[in-house]
Amino acid sequence: MPEVATQTRAQKLELLALYEEQTRREKRNKFKTLYPETGPYRRELYDGHMEFFALGKTCNERALFGGNRTGKTLAVCYELVAHMTAAYPPWWPGRMFDKPVECWAAGNTGKTVRNILQATLLGPPGNVVEQGHGLIPADAVVGKPTPKHGIPDAVETVYVKSQWGTSDLQFLSTDQGRIVFQGTSKDIILLDEDVPQEIYIECLMRMVTTSGMIMWSATLVEGITPLMLDFLPHLKPAPDTV
């Protein structure tokens, strides 16, 4: 009669422990799981994201526009983590930094920054002590993120290890006004959703000495602003002719 392999209870428990540990590690390093080569989420299905990444080689200002739930915020956050950690995947088509980077990530309000950008990069609000539930790998976070005063569970600054040293990321919001976007040079600025033109200009000034980059993700269905038209000139009305 054919033999049937059996497992002891101890072996089953060992396999279960290994599976749980693998799952825990995957949850704490989501960055490595995105844009795989094969499978239902393979990167060839995200041609818009791939084009956006590749344009980083030649463009210091880039925008990724789209509807809700199209992954635009996830894409720009993914690139931000790649630069902060210098853990570029083998297929990476875009710009690569050879130094630690100083970064800003900004949205409309402190609460939307916490609920969207911070959640994507660090994990759900209130969970920052148990790091690694966002795109920034747990073992790349240096120390504990600095809390932001006045907004529960919000983070102001996080430090991230890379092979070149320590990168830093500060969370800002455009409702803080133009003045908080003044004064310091930055390598990368990530902007999410609508941005006042005067703040965008301040962000450009932060790049003068660094040859840095701006990455902007926004939803067109909420209305096209004059700043968006700078990236979409084909939507501008033709000038009147005499």
How many Cα atoms are found within 13 Å in the side-chain-facing hemisphere of 42?
A: 5
Examine residue 1 and state whether it is found in any structural domain, yes or no.
no
Examine residue 180 and state whether it is found in any structural domain, yes or no.
yes
Examine residue 189 and state whether it is found in any structural domain, yes or no.
yes
Beta-sheet pairing, 213-219 with 188-192: parallel
Domain range for 154: 24-224
Examine residue 8 and state whether it is found in any structural domain, yes or no.
no
**Could you tell me which of 123, 139, 128, 26 has the C-alpha nearest to residue 77?**
123
Examine residue 9 and state whether it is found in any structural domain, yes or no.
no
Q: Give the per-residue pLDDT at 69.
A: 77
pLDDT tens digits, one per residue of 14-34: 544 444 444 444 555 799 999
Examine residue 232 and state whether it is found in any structural domain, yes or no.
no
Examine residue 15 and state whether it is found in any structural domain, yes or no.
no
Distance CA 114, CA 49 (A): 23
Q: Give the per-residue pLDDT at 122.
A: 94
What's the whole-model pTM score? 0.85
Long-range contacts of 38-47 (CB under 8 A, 24+ apart): 43/91, 46/71, 46/75
Q: Where are the beta strands (DSSP E) in the chain?
A: 61-66, 102-107, 141-147, 155-162, 165-173, 188-192, 213-219
Give the phi and the psi of residue 42 in degrees, each rounded to 5. -60, 150
Number of domains in the chain: 1
- Sign of the four-CA dihedral 110, 116, 120, 124: positive
Q: What is the chain's mean pLDDT, rounded?
A: 87
Q: Give the per-residue pLDDT at 133.
A: 80
Q: Give the per-residue pLDDT at 160.
A: 97
Examine residue 14 and state whether it is found in any structural domain, yes or no.
no
Give the tokens for residue 124: 């759900």
pLDDT tens digits, one per residue of 122-162: 998 876 545 568 999 999 999 999 999 999 999 999 999 99
What CATH number corresponds to the domain at position 216? Answer: 3.40.50
